[in-house]
Amino acid sequence: METHDEVREFLMSRRARVEPEQVGLPRGTDRRVPGLRRGEAAALAGVSVEYYARLERGAIAGASDAVLDGLARALLMDDAEREHLYRLASRSGRASAPSPRGRRKGERAWQPAPSMQWVLDSMHDAAALVGNGRTDLLAYNALGGALMHEMIASSTTPTPNFARFLFLEPVARRFYPDWDAMAAVNVAQLRTEAGRDPHSKPLHDLVGELSTRSDRFRELWGRHDVWHHESGTKRYHHHVVGDLTLHFNGLDVVGESGVQLTVLTAQPGSADAEALRLLSSWAATPEHAADAAESPSGSAAGSRS
């Protein structure tokens, strides 16, 4: 998608999401579409209706920080959405010149440094996963591999990918009890990555594949939602240990844009902690070790572009 088209779709989708009552405006009786009218959004952003219309048509190049901040406030954007807006504005200003990142050929596959893998392997009571903005699973410890066993085992690509698993593998709907929410978050992560690295061919290929094969993905992609993977809880139904609710924290890997370490833990003494302990024991069994060795990503190393 061209940058001006993406700007248009993003701003229109944010405006449609804001109800007048949320910003202290009367609803009235003659609204034909959801969300704010264009004139209302312009007034809240502190710009003229004509200028707002230009922005919403994608002509955002040269918009000042004050204008962008006004848009973010008027459309009730969260931090991830505001950052995405700034990235789109930056891209619009140099849309004719693809970034050097997009032109690189033959970039080597990203692999964790030995010291990073040592850190992962030293975590015995937590599941540790390293992923990128395309939601590829790049590295993991034993407990992380056991937690994501079905995704790793079912992967049809050398690098397992959370988006492919979510939208193309039926077992994912059992593994994620909150599948709808997880699917929406996953697509929002991909949309965020598209703002960060718009010239990534692997990302374009992934989005194209999923758009072709999944109606639900295509619908969620059209929402233009974005999201920061920071902290919270996730629910799983693992085929060996049953239900798990784990707390996660996302930690950016310094010097590697888009690569993040996610650590999943359970409250000490809880049933979830006991389930993690059982999962760790299962990970150490010969049967699981054989399955892991036969997986398409036994080295846990993935590609990055």
pLDDT tens column, 219-268? 999 999 988 778 899 999 999 999 999 999 999 887 777 889 999 999 99
Q: Which residues contact 47 (CB under 8 A, 6 or more apart)?
A: 55, 67, 70
**In the structure, what pLDDT confidence band is assigned to residue 27 with cuts at 50, 70 and 90?**
confident
Q: What is the pLDDT of residues 184-223, one digit of tens each?
A: 999 999 999 988 888 888 999 999 999 999 999 999 999 9
Is 128 strand, coil or helix? strand
Burial profile 245-280: b = 16 or more Cβ within 10 angstroms, e = fewer: ebebeeeebeeeebbbbbbbbbeeeeebbebbeebb
Find out whether 143 and 128 touch, Cβ atoms under 8 Å. yes
Region 20-43: mean pLDDT is: 87
Residue closest to 131 by CA, chosen among 168, 165, 162: 162
Spatial distance between the Cα atoms of 284 and 143, rounded to a whole number of angstroms: 9
HSE (side-chain half, CA atoms, 13 Å) at 138: 23
Q: Which residues contact 23 (CB under 8 A, 6 or more apart)?
A: 36, 40, 44, 74, 76
What is the pLDDT confidence band of residue 299, given thresholds at 50, 70 and 90? very low
DSSP 107: P
